[in-house]
Amino acid sequence: MLAAGRREAHRSAEKRRMRRRRRLPSGGIALYAVVVAIFQCGAAIASTCSTGDAAAADTSGPDHVSITWMSVTNVYYEIGRFHLLIDGYITRIPKEAFYGGGGYAFTRHPHATDVAAVKRVLTALGGPRSVDLLLTGHSHWDHSFDTATWSKLTGAPVLGAKTTC
């Protein structure tokens, strides 16, 4: 009876995941639109973030754009003086911690953010001033697990879905 109950729970979880997958493209499109807008307005955003004066913002465009793929869904953008981190999932939960379907709901016990690992990556990026904005695509654990830690260490605001912020 217990095994049958687990199978049914797994099937239900799989159905929920399939329903969520159908909704992801609209979230992906919104994320893409935000990134495109940031690129188009890179210099203005960078100037506004550093001076707080939107009227004084230089609209000629950024002097450089650097894109660094960090791992999985983590991407770091340097757009002139503006620095954007997407997802920033650094903590790794061991494979053995999972059972059944998958995802954080199927772990055997709670896990904490690996603050030391996030600090190491932050140092490699240039320290706390190297992140101006945190963008989280959606609130699955493998995208947003470390978001609060990044925000606490950098003071950067978080932009994401209602369930992320």
Pairwise pLDDT comparison (42 vs 150), residue with the higher score: 150
**24 falls within a domain:** yes
pLDDT tens for 9-36 read 655 665 555 444 434 344 454 555 555 5
Q: Kindly report the average pLDDT of the chain as a whole number.
A: 75
Q: Which of 138, 137, 25 is nearest to 84 (CA)?
A: 137
Write down the pLDDT at residue 110.
87
165 lies in some domain: no
Domain contains 36: yes
Q: How far is CA 43 from CA 18, 34, 37, 49, 58, in A?
A: 40, 15, 11, 10, 6
**Residue at 100 is within a domain:** yes
DSSP string, 27-43: HHHHHHHHHHHHHHTHH
Number of domains in the chain: 1
Per-residue pLDDT, 26: 43
What is the CA 122 to chain-centroid distance, rounded? 14
CB-based burial, 86-124: b 16+ in 10 Å, e otherwise? bbbbbbeeeeeeeeebeeeeebeeeeebbeeebeebbee
Identify the three-state secondary structure at position 14.
helix
> pLDDT tens digits, residue range 32-60?
555 555 555 554 455 555 555 555 555 67
Please, what is the end-to-end C-alpha distance for the chain in angstroms? 40
Q: What is the rounded distance in angstroms from the CA atom of residue 105 to the CA atom of residue 71?
A: 22
Look up the domain containing 63 and give its range. 2-160
Within a domain: residue 82?
Answer: yes
Do the domain assignments include residue 124? yes
pLDDT tens for residues 104-121? Answer: 778 888 889 999 999 999
Is the residue at 11 inside a domain?
yes
